Amino acid sequence: MNVETEALTRRFGTVTAVAGVDLQAGPGVFGLLGPNGAGKTSLLRMMATAMPPSSGTLRLLGRDPGRYGSRREIRRRLGYLPQNPGYHPGFTVAEHVEYFALLKEVPSARIRAAVATAIDRVGLGDRRRSRLRTLSGGMLRRAGIAQAIVNEPELLLLDEPTAGLDPEQRLAFRALLRDLGQRATVVVSTHLVEDVAAACAQVALMDDGKIVFHGTPEALAARGNGNDAGDTPIERGYSAVLAEARS
Amino acid sequence: MTRLLRVELRHNAMVLLLPVVVALFWLTTYRKTVAMAPFWNVRAASLQLNAVLDFAVSVTGTAAWMGSREARHRLTDQLTVTARPRWARLLVPWAATAIWALVVYFGCVAWLYAATAHQASWGGPLWWPVAVGAASVAAFSALGFAVGTCLPSRFTAPLATIAAFFVLALSTQLIHGSQSYWNVSPIVTGPWDMAPQPGVATFYPFAPDLPIAQVMFLVGLTAALLGTLGLPAGAGGRPLRLAAAGLTGAGLLAAGTAAGLAGTGTLGPHGMIDIPALHDAASDRPLRYTPVCSHTAIPVCFNPAYARYLPATAGALAPVLDQIAGLPGAPARIVQESVTYRQEPGNGVAVFYAGRSAGPARVFPVVLADQVPGPAMTAAQMADQAASMYAGGLVRGVIGDGPAASPAQNAVARAVLTAAGVRQLTISSPSGKAARGTDAPDSGRQEVAPGTTAYAAAVRFAALPASARRAWLVRHIAALRAGQVTLEQIP
């Protein structure tokens, strides 16, 4: 398993954002669903080693991120796209991706090819020399995905990656996710359930800091019925599980 | 790291600010400095004082802007989860900022020093003041970067810029006398409140005691500030954080030691701050140089650094020298002397000069107005002042001097000076305390008041043709010096 958590908890003062999450995820695309404030981003940030858990255990790529040496090794093999990715506006797309490749300690000999591949995979090949300040929101999101995958990560964590993408880009992105999931563990946090249905093999639904469902998208869809809110079976399943968890 | 540095160099905010810094340097440093007399020490001191302000202030703001960049661009999380240690990651944009600032700083130094090399008649560049400037750039960039990293906001950079200016400007306000810890401030080039003097480091070697302490302080400050960036838990592994702690400690120790050393400094006799622990006795030995001399009846010899003042000064003294050359008691040469400095109470500095005779021939010592504190002068102004200060002394040295001078001696002296065009009769002793704009004390001075018989004799003698006057002097100088000539005997 590339991600293993046990009673993972994160508190911010008196607020418990993640409350004792147990989770395992192996290679493939893993969807993390939940309403706003459910704790998805906090869980993802802990998985990304951006912040330590308050309690519980976390193992990533078979290592304990609490130890600096292991954490550094995990980070070499990690890709992360936060919910609101930042960027240096003066950098070009290629420089942005190269910058992260250098910080992720991609071997020098491989950087040029890795940057080109990452940019091509997100469909920004023709904008590689464009400064980031000139790009649209969707393009910036793709540039963010490119930096996340430039080191060919074994664990890729994407927080709301399809926000701002147009329908065509979302379709292309789902294909990219499926492709990345062939070799790596991809955890996608989203509240767009159709993305999960289309690309994920496993899905977890969070509410109030807890995992309230863990299974396949089909199993989630099966939890719904005609009376639940939603246009698609998986949306109805999503609504049914949340209603059950809150009752 | 090299590749990362290249990326950072391409996108450093300092690049955008370079034209502004160069313009600032031209406006506040270059124009002011090249307007000063072309003495290397004067130019170097002006460079240190002004360029440090230009560069340190601007680099502080820029570095603060770069230091706050990650947070302003919402990149903190993305960069935190990269493999490279945070400390190493932060040092790269700091280095890029410092490199750009240093490149431009050295370019500006080269520009100013090239102009000085073109104008100066003697000596060579002084590098210690340049080193202080370079160390200031590094230290203030580290300061700005640390502030920007710790307090990231769009207001950090402007506030850091303003703070840096006031810290530098106010750092000298507490200096009291030459013995002050505040002398470690990089804008202090010598005794505070005494402008750079051309005579300093001209007759004696430049004593780098204070610049050494300043560089030590600034390097220590740089190390301590950069070290603190590596102290937080997420900055790196245990070995890296231990190294950062060691660097911080060593930096603080160096900075503290340097400030302590600066506090032990005193104004040395040659106008520079001497720090006993750093002082090299070799810098107390006079510099060897071949003086430049005029072709006047009595040669006027200056330190070669003052060569540009020689023609005017020799020209102003020539009429007097023509009158007295070859007479008993006349000097064989007029030689420029160095002055000595002494700290007075408060921030006052007293400047002394002492006449001396060297070798078998009698030497008349002179000190030029530029060698003592005061406003800058043109060559013509300095020549006029030299003539008014020394012509009387030269003439009285030949004719007879002192309180017991006879009326005839006073009348002849007045006549010779009048004939030489020296209107202000001021007679200086060959030694005394110098203060520019005032005459040296002369207890033996005797006025020849208009309406007296002595005055009439002086007017009469001055009206003689120069050849007749000189012929009379040659024949009667011995009797005149002995006080055996009466006013009536003066033709």
Report pLDDT digits (tens) over B302-315: 999 999 999 999 99
Q: How many residues does chain B have?
A: 491
- Confidence category of residue B429, pLDDT binned at 50, 70, 90: very low
Which residue has better confidence, A9 or B453? A9
Which chain A positions have a beta carbon within 8 Å of B81's beta carbon? Answer: 48-50, 75, 78, 80
Separation between Cα atoms, residue A2 and residue A157, nearest integer Å? 12
Interface contact flag, B74 A86, Cβ < 8 Å: yes
Residue B391 corresponds to which amino acid? Answer: A
Ramachandran angles phi, psi of B401, nearest 5° = -135, 165
Q: What is the pLDDT of residue B368?
A: 87
Q: Could you report the average pLDDT of every consecutive run of 10 residues in chain A (247 residues)? A: 92 93 91 91 94 94 92 94 92 96 94 95 93 91 93 93 82 86 90 79 92 92 78 86 87
Q: What is the pLDDT of residue B433?
A: 46
Ramachandran angles phi, psi of A238, nearest 5° = -55, -50
Which chain B positions have a beta carbon within 8 Å of A76's beta carbon? Answer: 83
Asked if A63 has any chain B CB less than 8 Å from its own CB, the reply is no
Nearest CA in chain A to B66: A88
Mean pLDDT for all residues in chain B? 87
Separation between Cα atoms, residue B370 and residue B378, nearest integer Å? 9
Q: How many residues does chain A have?
A: 247
Q: Are B270 and B341 within 8 A, CB to CB?
A: yes
Mean pLDDT of B179-206: 84
Q: What is the pLDDT of residue B354?
A: 62
CB atoms within 10 A of CB A199: 24
- Out of A60-64, B177-181, B303-307, B434-438, pick the least confident: B434-438
Choose from A29-33, B130-134, B483-487 the range with maximum mean pLDDT.
B130-134
Strand partners, B267: B273
Asked if A82 has any chain B CB less than 8 Å from its own CB, the reply is yes
Nearest CA in chain B to A77: B83
Q: What is the pLDDT of residue B299?
A: 95
Residue B395, Cα to own-chain centre: how many angstroms? 33
Q: What is the pLDDT of residue B401?
A: 64
- Confidence category of residue B436, pLDDT binned at 50, 70, 90: very low
How close is the nearest chain A Cα to the Cα of B44, in Å?
38
Q: Are B102 and B131 within 8 A, CB to CB?
A: no
CB atoms within 10 A of CB A162: 22
Rg for chain B, CA atoms, rounded: 30
User: CA nearest A173: which of A155, A158, A184?
Assistant: A158
- Confidence category of residue B434, pLDDT binned at 50, 70, 90: very low
pLDDT tens for residues B230-249?
998 877 788 899 999 999 99
Q: What is the pLDDT of residue B446?
A: 53
- Out of A89-93, A117-121, B364-368, B423-427, pick the least confident: B423-427
pLDDT tens for residues B378-391?
888 888 888 888 88
Q: How far apart are the first and last CA of chain B?
A: 91
Q: Are B94 and B100 within 8 A, CB to CB?
A: no
CB atoms within 10 A of CB A4: 17
The tokens of A238 are what? Answer: 């999503």
Mean pLDDT of B396-425: 79
Q: Are A205 and A242 within 8 A, CB to CB?
A: yes
Q: What is the pLDDT of residue B441?
A: 37
pTM: 0.87
Q: At what angle do helices B86-119 and B209-229 cross, to 10 degrees?
A: 160
Q: What is the pLDDT of residue B432?
A: 42
- Confidence category of residue B357, pLDDT binned at 50, 70, 90: very low
Collapsed DSSP state (helix, strand, coil) of residue A56: strand
Ramachandran angles phi, psi of B274, nearest 5° = -100, 130
Which chain B positions have a beta carbon within 8 Å of A96's beta carbon? Answer: none
Q: How far apart are the first and last CA of chain A?
A: 33
- Confidence category of residue B402, pLDDT binned at 50, 70, 90: low
CB atoms within 10 A of CB B1: 12
Interface contact flag, A84 B74, Cβ < 8 Å: yes
Give me the residue spans of the domains in chain A: 12-54+64-77+155-247, 86-152
Which residue has better confidence, B452 or B156? B156
In CATH, what is the architecture of A12-54+64-77+155-247?
3-Layer(aba) Sandwich (3.40)
Ramachandran angles phi, psi of A215, nearest 5° = 175, -160
Residue B476, Cα to own-chain centre: how many angstroms? 48
Nearest CA in chain A to B89: A103
Minimal Cβ distance to B7: which of A81, A98, A105:
A98
Q: Would you call A135 exposed, middle or buried from its count of C-beta atoms within 10 A (0-12, 13-18, 19+)?
A: buried
Mean pLDDT of B158-163: 96
Separation between Cα atoms, residue B17 and residue B7, nearest integer Å? 18
H or E stretch including B432?
Answer: strand B432-434
Q: Strands B300-302 and B333-336, how do they pair?
A: parallel
Q: Strands B349-353 and A210-215, how do they pair?
A: unpaired
User: CA nearest A152: which of A196, A182, A127?
Assistant: A182
Helices marked H in B151-192: 156-170
- Out of A61-65, A152-156, B131-135, B168-172, pick the least confident: B168-172
Asked if A69 has any chain B CB less than 8 Å from its own CB, the reply is yes
What is the full DSSP assignment across B256-293?
A: HHHHHHHHT-EE-TTSSEE-TTT--GGGGSPPP---EE
Separation between Cα atoms, residue B26 and residue A71, nearest integer Å? 51
Strand partners, A92: A131
Interface of A with B in 16-45 (CB under 8 A): 45
CA separation (Å) from B155 to A56, B61, B161, B227, B475?
40, 10, 10, 24, 85
Interface contact flag, A68 B236, Cβ < 8 Å: yes
Interface predicted TM-score (ipTM) of this complex, two decimals: 0.88
Q: What is the pLDDT of residue B19?
A: 95
Separation between Cα atoms, residue B25 and residue B449, nearest integer Å? 55
Residue B373 has pLDDT above 80, yes or no: no
Q: Strands A28-33 and A185-190, how do they pair?
A: parallel
Interface contact flag, B81 A75, Cβ < 8 Å: yes
CB atoms within 10 A of CB B173: 10
Separation between Cα atoms, residue B449 and residue B428, nearest integer Å? 19
Nearest CA in chain B to A80: B78
Q: What is the pLDDT of residue B227?
A: 96
Instruction: Sheet with A3-12: list strands edge to edge.
Output: A15-25, A3-12, A55-60
* Block residue for tokens 């102004």: B381
Contacts of A214 (CB under 8 A, 6+ apart): A23, A202, A203, A204, A205
Mean pLDDT of B121-137: 95
How close is the nearest chain A Cα to the Cα of B11, in Å?
7
The tokens of B256 are what? Answer: 């503290």
Best mutation target, A103, A151, A159, A187, to test chain B (most B CBs within 10 A): A103
Q: What is the pLDDT of residue B396?
A: 83
